[in-house]
Structure 1
């Protein structure tokens, strides 16, 4: 039978996706303000920047800036619409008289403007969180930055400040955890440089195990290669027990930990531990640095997923973001412990010198005080 090609469906350039609910909430609020200008006193804190569509923000800015007309005049003449059009029109050429009438038709219930304003603020909060999450992801993935860790932590601080500000305006309620599935974790950097530095760290720590007690800020989960993390766990286990540490004792520990397989044999482990170089502390910092950036990337993706899920309420978004940032903070604390200089232990103050008491000598009473027999 002849093979007939499957015809692709025609693409209609005018087939635009439907508007999200926030579009209609903005139209309802603006329409209510066009019908009843005095309703703007009930909308609470709201600014043009809260609107998703710049055209709506320009109309709101005009409605919030201009003085409403007298109610009697407003009923008879469209002076209010003309004032808003003349004020916002030069900055927004897309604003037309017909669209103002469209807004009036979508006014809904003017007495519900406070609820509409709350919807607009909530959606603006969601978009703001998403923008900060994108900035965090960019900082964690940009190798051209001179200090990617510093930039990523600054982005995390900005996101934390935003969440704290939003949390002060949203009252908590039960059942506030996001229902959004966590996105797939990004792949770790297992390039030649990262792999080589992890192996050098293992070799150096094996040759000079005295550094292990001072490197408690590094964990097996920080290694990009899982096998390297397992070997580091063997090293720390030996050091914690006070057992001797060398290539053979580490190899023996790998046998007890179930690390040796057909793919990884004893000779492979000994080769990984045979190239010490430099300072284990330095290589450990490099491993932790990559782990911190990976954690920042993962955190940004999770928060972005929460913000993209429109089913999450503002409080669910705030709670999920805080939990994601807490995981990044745990790695951040270990990073500061690794990179901060250890404060010198102040010398213990010496106790002031005291005069040693000598043997007591009996005092001789004066001759005049002696009892006479």
Structure 2
């Protein structure tokens, strides 16, 4: 007869995850402070919130909220353990006195309390950095955000400020780069809306190449569709050389750039750059904003991946995170340049219920026979 199997919901000790190293560091620190409460003055800045375990944080909060007993009284009677337990139970009712004795028994060397405290601070720094990275990623994907670009940049500023704080708290050491390789960047969002905006931008730039001298803040790498970015580079190079710009010359330039590879046909390229709709600056700003959010998300995911690897020290996390934010800083500089540049005059838009509404501001043209002015 086969042996009966355990019910699916039974508790299996073999599946219990092991305690992380910081759990043992917290236990050792609290045990050292229970053995000698006067070591509280030697461990440096530490707060209950630094502890990964809420119960450990409650025990530490009880210690910092009490006056340590005199050394003679501490040796004779367990007044310190009793007082700490009574205070900590206010926050953790399930805390039993035996656990405090366990903390004392697992402390290997009480004199190493400052080292244990540094471990607790380091793990708290890693967890906090991870939360801030998650928040940065969330700001780039929240559809209801009123101003996602400004919100993402504010999140990046807060994260950079936290990195500066960590750099002042944890000294550098050799091997400053993270041991874990950076994750691949997330896929760009190439949905129909983004592709449409990039196509009308290309057509608008071909129809009015003079605007490209005012759009140096836009790069080919900002496009979600690589082909669109490559074609934009072709148009920009023609315009900057002062060459003729029209659909046929762009097609010829695309051929020299090696873009006309199967299955792409010349007719498809001509169709991409032949139907302008709205002002190129308008669509360029939307493309750049999408690129800014993509770089912010990439930086947040990269930092989050670094914090997932416990092998990385705090100094390595700081160095790797700053490098992750560098690409965002480059796009951010162009974003600010675009917003600080003189903007074209307001133009009348078509009603929202028409396709023209998606084409952005309408371009006004000069009357026949008059010279076109530049802004």
**Shorter chain as normaliser: what TM range?**
0.7 to 0.9
1:118-177, Cα deviation, whole Å (9 max, x unpaired)? 001110100010000000000011112111111111111110110001111222223200
Map of 1:28 onto structure 2: 28
Q: Secondary structure, in 3 states, of the residue corresponding to 1:168? A: helix
Contact 1:137 1:300 (8 Å CA) reproduced: yes
Map of 1:231 onto structure 2: 231
Q: Secondary structure, in 3 states, of the residue corresponding to 1:244? A: coil
1:11 CA drift (Å):
6.6
Map of 1:208 onto structure 2: 208
Verify: 1:142 aligned to 2:142, yes or no.
Answer: yes
How many residue pairs match? The answer is 338
Map of 1:254 onto structure 2: 254
Q: TM-score, normalised by structure 2?
A: 0.87
* Structure 1: gaps of 5 or more residues: 1-6, 344-373
Map of 1:83 onto structure 2: 83
1:8 CA drift (Å):
12
Map of 1:44 onto structure 2: 44
Map 1:84-103 → 2, pairs under 5 A: 84-103=84-103
Q: 2: CA distance between counterparts of 1:220 and 1:206? A: 15
1:341 CA drift (Å):
4.0
* Structure 2: gaps of 5 or more residues: 344-375
Change (3 A) 1:331 1:87: same
Contact 1:178 1:317 (8 Å CA) reproduced: yes
Change (3 A) 1:8 1:332: farther
Choose 275-284 or 8-17, whichever is displaced more: 8-17
Q: 2: CA distance between counterparts of 1:8 and 1:81? A: 41
Deviation >4 Å, runs of 4+: 7-12
Map of 1:218 onto structure 2: 218
Change (3 A) 1:90 1:194: same
Q: Secondary structure, in 3 states, of the residue corresponding to 1:118? A: helix
Change (3 A) 1:9 1:237: farther
Structure exhibiting the larger radius of gyration computed from Cα positions? 1
Map of 1:185 onto structure 2: 185
Map of 2:107 onto structure 1: 107
Contact 1:303 1:321 (8 Å CA) reproduced: yes
Choose 138-147 or 311-320, whichever is displaced more: 138-147
Q: TM-score, normalised by structure 1?
A: 0.88
Change (3 A) 1:258 1:145: same
Change (3 A) 1:294 1:12: farther
Change (3 A) 1:98 1:134: same
Verify: 1:70 aligned to 2:70, yes or no.
Answer: yes
Map of 1:328 onto structure 2: 328
Contact 1:55 1:94 (8 Å CA) reproduced: no
